[in-house]
A and B are shown apart, each in its own frame.
Chain A
Amino acid sequence: MNHSEQTNTTWLFEITPKNKFFSLNLKEVWQYRDLLLLFVKRDVVTVYKQTVLGPLWYLIQPLFTSITFTIIFNNLAGISTGTVPPFLFNLAGITVWNYFTACLTGTSNTFGANAGIFGKVYFPRIIVPISIVISNLIKFGIQFFIFIIFYLYYYAQGAAVSLNPLAVFFPLLIVLMGVLGLGLGMFISSLVTKYRDFSYLITFGVQLLMYGSAVMYPLALIKEKIPNYAWLVQYNPLAYIIETTRYMLLNIGQVSVLGLGYTAVVTITLLLVGILIFNKTEKSFIDTV
């Protein structure tokens, strides 16, 4: 029971100025798993407190964005979505894209938003970005549910929508998207503590990135229309995730194994780099924030 009578020639832990080059103390994160869950609960429960529409806000945003995109890009600009109803095409892209941006913007503000609490107590800082990715997963779940409802609606209407058998791997795709947001977000959050410029960059950078991520057009279209600039999209790992989403759920577009492999490599690299820089920052960010 009481271990305090043990002779104390072993120290539990040590504080030193510099971190080891790469230290991800998963054991410690596991010890704090209850905190992780409570953070997720806090984020989900408190976001729309004191609003009239409450969680409905989770739904309003993707619906209106999809409607706007459908009017502008499909009706006005005439982008063809094949046999799939344009609204459903856009909703699929936006739902997945929203998950990425929510993860990215949430985690990139980790140090700024939590400076108060980080300045007072220690817990593994990585708990915060992880909790953001998980709580956004719940938000994504709600938005995806709406997508399913519209999917069934269009199906009942007799529209040509069908699932690809590969759709069973869709959860993996979402994990990939979350991890990509987490890695990039942690990377940026660390830079923001020293150079505030990055917090401005992220707000409009995310908007620009959306246009380069094949959210509202098929990947094939950009290769066909502007082949000179297609590489911008082709080197963007997000484009493959979104294109594959539509391939799995709506059975349109193409899936590129090479592209997905590339995406996975980029994601893991970003995650490792993100953790590395995050660890370095968490030790003394409170002095510069």
Chain B
Amino acid sequence: MSNKTFLSGSDTPSFGGGRGEDNIILKAENISKQYRLGQVGTGTLSHDVNRWWHQIRGKEDPYLKIGDVNDRSTKGSSDYVWALKDINFEVERGEVLGIIGKNGAGKSTLLKILSRVTAPTTGSIKFGGRVASLLEVGTGFNGEMTGRENVYLNGAILGMTKKEITAKLDEIIDFSGCERYIDTPVKRYSSGMTVRLAFAVAAFLEPEILIIDEVLAVGDAEFQKKAIGKMQDISREGGRTVLFVSHNMAAIKQLCTKTIMMENGTIVFEGNTNKAIDYYLQSNQYEGYRGHYVNEAVQESGIVSLAIVDKNDEIRTEFGFDEAIGINVKLQVAEQYLNAYLGFRLVDRNERVIFTSEIKLSEKINQAGMHKFEVNLPEKFLVPNQFNLTFALHVPNVVLIDCLDDCLSFEIIETGSDLYKYAGTDFGCVYVNCDWKKLN
């Protein structure tokens, strides 16, 4: 097929690297991207003149050296910032590469460079195949044109020829589930329908490398499932390479054979997807959650400290569904309260009370002083959601010694559990592994 030689004409016949890399389809070397902060436009002319003056004298670009690392929270010293810094990676043919990281880690900038929307400031990327990108589907859709016309237009924008689209038109329409509306202008479509149609076009593209950014954030659960399935088919059967950026750990886990974790414009982890997700959960703790509580001022009786920890005793606030969660409690008990109870109540984001648990201190301790406890929430128990904990130390119906409303909070993140296949349905607050017996 003639279109396989598409985009050729590069005058670099071979790369100098080692042999045995025949299977590498994409190679990124030292990519960096610099942005100018503040008001772009003011002072550009003087900077341009300065840049040009350096250039004609054969000197380095004066603005290239002064960039800071891209960290939103700290104030940098210069107007220029590195959104990406020295990114190196390789992708093999047929691999599905996940790219994860916090907002602002540089994922989208990287994808923009890979999809040739913007050029890197330094470095180079070599491609061994056609690239098509699917960044926020539906771009290039024209509201005045019908679904069918837009399939052609969008397909052509993504690099297909009219012939290729015609050959696949029925499949595309069928996959999108928009048959009835296909001759209606797209402006009359619901946003979900637009996305379905756009994804369908892209799914039937035949590039060797497909770049996808957060498409799965839209569409209903059924369509998301269909989309993930289609993407798996693309990479497995089609032997095509997919680069996939998402915040959806479940989708990443399901799809990706290798994952890159980014932070402040650099790659901090590259390799096995499960390990990358662990890394993400460990390093990417959202500041909005409270993983520990300390009250040094406790006099005679009260809760001194609380901490939510993982199996390595590290304080964390984001956990996978399949991870056990520990809570470390330190409390000061006076002689007269040895008959007290220590308990907590777990409430989810919707203020739904999940359960309560407590112990009678006298069963565990018999003298006053500082005591440490650990309580464990089993793995695969709390379903993905956000939770708040309230702790209390009390003698029932007599005295409330200490009560800490919503003192701790954490989140269970979907990382590709069995529940994910029911995404969108309410399966309750907890998942219980009941005792199932076969009787006959």
Contacts and interface: CB of A to CB of B under 8 A. Distances in A.
A196 interface: yes
A39 B139 CA distance: 14
B35 interface: yes
Given A15-B116, A15-B125, A34-B161, A120 B23 contact: no
Contacts of B125: 14-15
Contact of B156 (A9, A34, A49, A284): A34
Interface string A1-44: 10110011111111111100000010110011011011101100
B135 A32 contact: no
Given A4-B208, A284-B118, A12 B152 contact: no
A10 B144 contact: no
Contact of A11 (B15, B156, B161): B15
A28 B130 CA distance: 12
Interface in B89-131: 93, 112-131
B116 A10 contact: no
Interface stretch (A111-119, A214-222, A270-278): A111-119
> Which of B126, B131, B162 has the most A CB atoms < 10 Å from its CB?
B126
A16 B119 contact: yes
Contact of A14 (B4, B93, B124, B133): B124
A46 interface: yes
Interface string B25-43: 1010000000110001100
A25 B7 CA distance: 9
Contacts of B130: 12
Contacts of A1: 1
B403 interface: no
Interface residues of A, number: 47
Given A27-B9, A120-B140, A8 B117 contact: no
Contacts of A34: 156, 160-162
A287 interface: yes
Contact of B40 (A12, A17, A288): A288
Contact of B7 (A12, A119, A283): A12
Contacts of B8: 12-13, 27
B424 interface: no
B386 interface: no
A122 B161 contact: no
Contact of A283 (B10, B118, B139): B118
A77 interface: no
B118 A286 contact: yes
Given A15-B116, A17-B122, A45-B145, A122 B131 contact: yes
A195 interface: yes
B142 A31 contact: no
B13 A42 contact: no
A14 B14 CA distance: 11
A286 B13 CA distance: 30
A35 B157 CA distance: 6
A1 B123 CA distance: 34
Interface residues of B, number: 68
Interface string A255-272: 000000000000000000
Contacts of A223: none
B333 to A, nearest CB: 61
B22 interface: yes
B119 A15 contact: yes
B322 interface: no
B322 to A, nearest CB: 36
B13 A10 contact: yes
A237 to B, nearest CB: 29
A9 B15 contact: yes
B45 interface: yes
Given A13-B8, A45-B145, A46-B142, A123 B152 contact: no
B68 interface: no
Contacts of B212: none
A120 B139 contact: yes
Interface in B123-172: 123-133, 135-136, 139-140, 142, 144-145, 149, 152-153, 156-162
Given A17-B121, A286-B112, A11 B126 contact: yes
Nearest to B139: A120
B167 to A, nearest CB: 13
Contacts of A172: none
Nearest to A31: B6
Contacts of A42: 142, 145, 149, 153
B4 A3 contact: yes
Contacts of B10: 11-14
Nearest to A34: B162
Nearest to A11: B126
A287 B35 CA distance: 7
Nearest to A285: B118
Given A34-B161, A120-B117, A287-B35, A10 B14 contact: yes
Contacts of A25: 9
Contacts of B24: 8
Contacts of B7: 12-13, 28, 31
A27 B139 CA distance: 25
B124 A122 contact: no
A15 B113 contact: yes
A122 B133 contact: yes
Contact of B153 (A16, A38, A49): A38
Contact of A122 (B21, B45, B117): B117
A120 B9 contact: no
Interface string B392-433: 000000000000000000000000000000000000000000
Nearest to B17: A9
Interface of A: 1, 3-4, 7-18, 25, 27-28, 31-32, 34-35, 37-39, 41-42, 45-46, 49-50, 116-123, 194-196, 283-284, 286-288
25 contacts: A4-B129, A4-B239, A7-B22, A8-B22, A8-B23, A8-B24, A8-B128, A12-B128, A12-B130, A13-B127, A15-B126, A17-B123, A28-B7, A32-B156, A34-B162, A38-B153, A42-B142, A42-B145, A45-B144, A45-B145, A46-B145, A120-B136, A121-B157, A195-B41, A195-B44
Given A12-B7, A14-B124, A32-B159, 5 more contacts: A8-B22, A25-B9, A31-B7, A45-B144, A194-B44
Sorted nearest first, the 8 A-B pairs with minimum C-beta distance are A122-B116, A35-B156, A283-B119, A120-B139, A11-B126, A34-B162, A46-B144, A13-B10
